[in-house]
Each structure stands twice: as structure tokens, then as C-alpha cells.
Structure 1
Amino acid sequence: MLLTPEVLTIIIINSIFLIFGTVAFLLSIKIFFNWDINSTSKLQYSLENQSYLTATIIKYILFLKILIFIFFIFTLDKISNVLTGAMCAAGVVDATSYGIYLLLFKLINIYFFGFWLVIHNIDMKTKELKFTKLKFGFYLFIYLIFLVETIIEITMFGSIEVDKLVSCCGTLYSNSSGSYISSLFAFDNSYILIVFYTIFALLVLSYFIKNDYLYTIFNLLFLIISLISLIMFFGTYIYELPTHHCPFCMLQKGYYYIGYIIYITLFLGTFFGFIITLKNIILQDRDSSNKYYNYSIIFSFVYVIIVSLYPLSFYIRNGVFL
């Protein structure tokens, strides 16, 4: 097992999260199955008090999980220095068969915790607390994903062999890697760029017509094509190397940590885009729709500007594209 201070910190913090999350899980079960806002019983009074405690626990887990996720990415990059063959976090993720699944579960959980927070904030604004059962029922589902995430995390770090040769990002993100990503290299970059800017244009169009379904669908497509185009095209201009497609190296100091800004703007833009459907369709709350529309399009627009400036700047300085 790779027992570095950073790994131990993550395992300890997530174990603490799991303990408090389990307390919230048990209370959520009780609230979900017994909640009746119209009741004046002693049980209902107790559930109302417990609901505030449970919501507070979940909120703190959410905020801290966002910070610990950033620290998790930093840790992957840090421990790559002790793994033979690894040059960045990509090598650590690929060091075991659990790495990619852990990363996916962490990202999904951050989105879900964010959705829960939105439902909670809307619920607290209603006099009858009509979304209380929904938000705690939703947390029961989130907790299960969180539990799986924690198990995979401990398993992944426990499975890493320091003396085992791992692949570097140059090998993993190439057309000879034999992975799913390698199949993307069969497509010409011009097609990927056309799809990227077309989906963004459709996203902007759906923003102006304020169609909730379309806006959510295009946000999902924008998230997917943004990650693909970042690996296939835009990332090479960040590194100024046509063969360097790693989505992790841009998080390093040598590239001024620009990857954090890129991923945060992409996450926030799509997150607020998904929230619109959650609020308007599921919760039937359109009061703050325009606010979330604006947040979403602003962050997505900033993302597009940042990644587009790199190839443009390279062309201005060198007169050619990579």
C-alpha cells in the first residue's frame, strides 16, 4: 500500500466523512419513511429537529468534499513521483484497474451533492417543507454512491505497487495505447472542432430561447465533447506539443495550474445548466431560472474562450498550427 502523508490524509478524512455520512443516512431513513408535515405528534417534532441536524451534516460533507477532491487530484500528481514510469496523475490512475472508476464516482458524487444542496435550499424556502422527503430520499441514493466511492478509493490506494512499472501519460493518451481513448485518434481534429463549436452554438441558442430540456441536453453534450476536444486538440496547444494529449499535466505548476481553471469553469457551467432542469421540471420552481441560465452560459463561455485562446495564441506567435 502506498502510505504517503497525502494518501493517509485522504483516507482518514473520507473515513470521517463516511462516519458522519452514515449518521445522516440512518437519520434520513427515519425521516423519509415517517415524515408528515401535517402531523402534530411528538415523532414529527423530533423528525423536524433531526432534519436540520441531518441537513447540516450533509452540507458540510458537500463543501469539504469539493476541497478534498482538489486535494485528491493534487495527491495523484504528487505520488506519481514515486511510481516508476508515471509522469503525472494519469500514471497513478492507470496503476490499478480501479483508478478511472474512482475518478468517475468522485465527479458524479460532486454533481449529486450539488443537486442535493439546491433541493435543500428550495425546500427551506417553502413554508410546508414539501421537498423534505425528496431531498432525504435522494441522499439515500447519494450515500450508496459515496459508500462505493470510499471502498474503491481504499482498494485503489491499497492495490498500488510502488515497484511496479506503470504507463506514462504519453503512452496512455496515444493512438497505440489500445484503450477506448485511442479510438478517438481515428477522427480528424477538424471534425472534433466542428462538433465542439457547433454544440456550443446550439447551447447558446437554447440559452436565448430558454428551453429547459434542450439546454440540459446540450450541456451534457457540451461536457462530453469538451473533455474529448481538450484531450484531442486544445491540450496539445497548452503543452505546445502535438503528441501530448494528457488531461492531467495541465494541472501542474509548469503550466501555471491552468487545468484547475479550465475544469472548474467547465464543471460550473454544466452544473448550473443541469440545475435548470432540476428546478423547473422536477421542483416546479422557475423563480430563479434566469439566474442559473446566466451562471451557466457565463462559465461555459469563459471555458470556450480560455481553450480557444491557446491555439490562437500559438498561431499568432508561430504562424502555423500544430
Structure 2
Amino acid sequence: MILSPPVLALQAGAAASSGFLLVALRWAAPVVRRWDPASGSRAQLRLERRALLVGVLVRTALAVQLASLALFVHASDALAPMFTGAMCAAGTLSASRYGWPALAVQVAATVLAGAWLALDRADGLAPDQPLVRVKHALLPAVAIPVVAGAALQAAHFLALRPEIITSCCGSLFGREGRGGWAGLAWLPPRAAGALLVALPGAAALAALALRRTGRGASAVAALSGLAGPAAAAGVIAWLSPYVYEAPGHRCPFCLLQPEQGWVGYPLHAAVLVGCVAGVAVGVLQPFRRVPSLAGPLPALQRRLAGAAALAWTALLAGAAALVAASGLRA
């Protein structure tokens, strides 16, 4: 294992958040089975105190998870000079068989964490907290990916050795590359660019329509969920060459380098925020029928839709600015 401040911080955060979630899972089961807000019994009072503590533990753990994804990518990028063949985070992730799975699981865990936090926020808006049982029942769907991501991350860092010879991003995202990443890299550029514009643009328009009319939550969630992969494909196959001004360089991680002005951070953050906020809008939709949430829940959905629209619009504006500033012409 390579010891560095980012790695140690990641491991400490992952251990803490996993521990919090495992404790919360153990305490959540009685809440799901025996929660009765109409009861004034001593057992119900204990459950209410336990639910409050579970909420604090889960919110803390998921906040750590939201920060951990960015730190994991940053740490992978910072470790790249230690490995022969690595030029950026892509090489570090390829230095063990756990690197890419850890990244994929952490991305999924982050989206699920954002959706659960939106559900928790909605529950706190009503005086009777009508979603206590629901959010505790859904806790395993969030906790399991977070804990799995922490385990894969630990396995990845434990497997790293300075003598490892790894693959550079040129081979991973080149014509000779194998696997899904190579497939994304060599999508037809015009088609990938069309996806990058069309789906995030449609998600932004749907989110703006929801803010005006209060309708279309399912469309916002579906389009935002599709816009994430479409944006990833567009950034890799179409936008990256404009940034590097090199048609054959299609790595999304080199966008995080200072030589490129760290433009990858706002681009990737916009995709993640758009996905999380847009999906959360749809997750909340079934609970609009709850009487105590009839007023506050639509307002929360509108705020989330506004965040999604802003994120997708920022992605499109950033992509347009990068293409306009590039010396590369198709």
C-alpha cells in the first residue's frame, strides 16, 4: 500500500462512513418493523430517539461519500507519477484489478446517496415525518454500495506497488484499447457530440418545465439518468480532442491536469450534480400523495429541478466555450 495524505484521508473516511452505515443498518430494522407514530409508548419513544441517531449517522456517512468520490479521483491522479506507464488517474486505476470497479461502484453509490438524502430532506419538511419507515427500508440500497465501494477502494490501494507497470491513457482510450472505455473513445465524434448536446439539453428543458408547471418529474429523472452516460461518451469521444487539440487524445482524466486548466473538475461535477438532482426529483414523485407533503414536496422538487437545469446548462456552456477556444477544427 502506498501511504500518502489523500490515501490516508480516503481510507479513514471510508472506514468511518462504513462503520456508521453498518450501525445504522442494525438500528434501522426495528424502526421499519415497529414504527407507530400514533403510539405514545416507551418503545415508540426509544424508536424515535433511535431514528434520530440513525439519521445523523447516515447523513454524515453519505456526506463523506459525496466528498470521497472527488478525493478518490484526485488521489488517483496524484499517484500517477509513481507508476511506470501512468500519465494520469487512468493509469493508477489500471494498476490493480480493483481500480475501475471501485470507481464505478463509487459513482453509483454517490447517485444513490444523493437520492436518499433528498428523501430524508423531504421527510424533515413534514411535522409528522411520514417517510421514516420508507427511508429506513431503503437504507440497504444505499449502504451496500457505499460499503462495497469502500472495500474495493481499500483493496485497490493495498494492491498498489511502485514497481507496477501500468497502462497509459493513450492505450486505454486508443484504437488498440479493449473494453467499454475503448468503445466510448472511438464512437463517431459527431454522434457522441450530438448525444452530449441532445440529452443534457433535453434534461435541462424538462427540469425548467417542471419548475414552471410542477409536472414531468418522471421525464426529468429519466432524461437526467440517460444524460450522465451520454455526457461521459461525448466528453471522451468528442470534447476531449478539442481541449487537447489532438484528435487521438481522448482521455477524460487528463482534463483534470493543470496543463488543461483543471477544466475536467467543473465538467465532471456538472454531470454528477445533474444526475443526482434530476434522479432525486423522480425518487420524490411517488410521495406527493402523502397529505402532509402535498405543500412542501413540490417546492423541494422545483429546487432540485433548478439545480439539475443549472448543472446541465453549465455543462453545455462549458463544452461550447472549450470548443470555441480550441485551435482544433473538425
> TM-score scaled to structure 2, two decimals?
0.90
CA contact 2:201–2:316 (8 Å) conserved in 1: no
Cα deviations by residue, 1:239-261 (Å, 9 ceiling, x for unpaired) = 22222111111112222222111
1:259-294 CA-to-partner distances (Å, cap 9, x unmatched) read: 111111121122221121112234543233333222
| Cα displacement string for residues 189-234 of structure 1 (whole angstroms, at most 9, x for unaligned residues) | 1122223323244334434554222222221221111000101111
Moved over 6 A (4+): none
Are 2:75 and 1:75 equivalent residues in the alignment? yes
Q: d(CA) in 2 for partners of 1:178 and 1:67?
A: 30
**AA paired with 2:24?**
A
1:67–1:282 CA distance, 2 compared to 1 (3 A): same
Partner of 1:148 in structure 2?
Answer: 148
Cα 1:300–1:87 shift into 2, 3 Å:
same
Q: What is the one-letter code of the residue matched to 1:262? A: L
CA distance in 1, matches of 2:74, 2:299: 38
Deviation at 1:144, TM superposition (A): 1.7
Q: Residues 9, 206 of structure 1: CA spacing in aligned structure 2 closer, same or farther, 3 A cutoff?
A: closer
1:232 to 228, 237, 240: 237
Offset from partner CA, 1:48-73 (integer Å, 9 cap, x none): 01111111111112222222322222
What is the deviation of 1:127?
2.5
SS of 2:298's equivalent?
A: coil
Instruction: Give the 3-state SS of the residue equivalent to 1:203 in structure 2.
Output: helix
Query: Which one-letter code corresponds to 1:297 in the other structure?
Result: A
Q: What per-residue deviation string (whole Å, max 9, x for no partner) do you get for residues 28-80 of structure 1?
A: 12222221112221111011011111111111122222223222221111111
8 Å CA contact 2:190–2:238 kept in 1: the answer is no
Map of 1:294 onto structure 2:
306
Aligned counterparts of 1:60 and 1:283: Cα–Cα separation in 2: 27
> What's the % identity of the aligned pairs?
19
Relative contact order, higher structure (CA 8 A, sep 6+): 2
In the alignment, is the contact (CA less than 8 A) between 1:29 and 1:140 conserved in 2? no
Map residues 100-139 of structure 1 onto 2, 5 A cutoff.
100-139=100-139
Offset of 1:130 from its aligned partner? 1.2
Partner of 1:38, secondary structure, is coil
Cα separation, 1, equivalents of 2:318 and 2:109: 26
Q: What is the TM-score with the length of structure 1 in the denominator? A: 0.92
Counterpart residue number, 1:264: 269
Deviations 1:95-126 (A, max 9, x none): 12211111111111111121111111111222
**CA deviation profile, 1:104-158 (whole Å, cap 9, x unmatched):** 1111111112111111111122222210011111112222222211221111112
Q: Residue in 2 aligned with 1:312?
A: 324
Distance 1:183 1:67, change over 3 A: closer
| Residue identity matched to 2:268 | Y
Counterpart-to-counterpart distance in 2, 1:273 and 1:159: 36
State the distance in 2 between where 1:41 and 1:275 align.
34
Unaligned runs of at least 5 residues, structure 1? none
Which aligned pairs between 1:191-230 and structure 2 lie closer than 5 A?
Answer: 191-207=191-207, 209-210=209-210, 211-230=216-235
Query: SS in structure 2 opposite 1:288?
Result: helix
Unaligned runs of 5+ in 2: 211-215, 290-296
Choose from 296, 313, 329 the match for 1:321: 329
2: CA distance between counterparts of 1:201 and 1:78?
A: 33
Match of 1:96, SS state, is: coil
Tell me the residue number matched to 1:99. Answer: 99
In 2: Cα distance, 1:252 partner to 1:130 partner? 46
2 CA distance for matches of 1:281 and 1:144?
24
Q: Indicate if the aligned counterparts of 1:21 and 1:143 stay in contact, CA closer than 8 A.
A: yes
RMSD: 1.9
- Cα distance 1:157–1:185, how it changes in 2: closer, same or farther (>3 A)? closer
Specify whether residues 18 and 206 from structure 1 end up closer, same or farther in structure 2 by C-alpha distance, changes over 3 A only.
closer
- 2:38 corresponds to which residue? 38
Structure 1 distance, partners of 2:304, 2:20, is: 31
Q: Is the 8 A contact 1:234 1:308 kept in 2?
A: no
Query: How do 1:19-34 and structure 2 match up within 5 A?
Result: 19-34=19-34
Paired residue type of 1:226: A
The one-letter amino acid paired with 2:120 is H
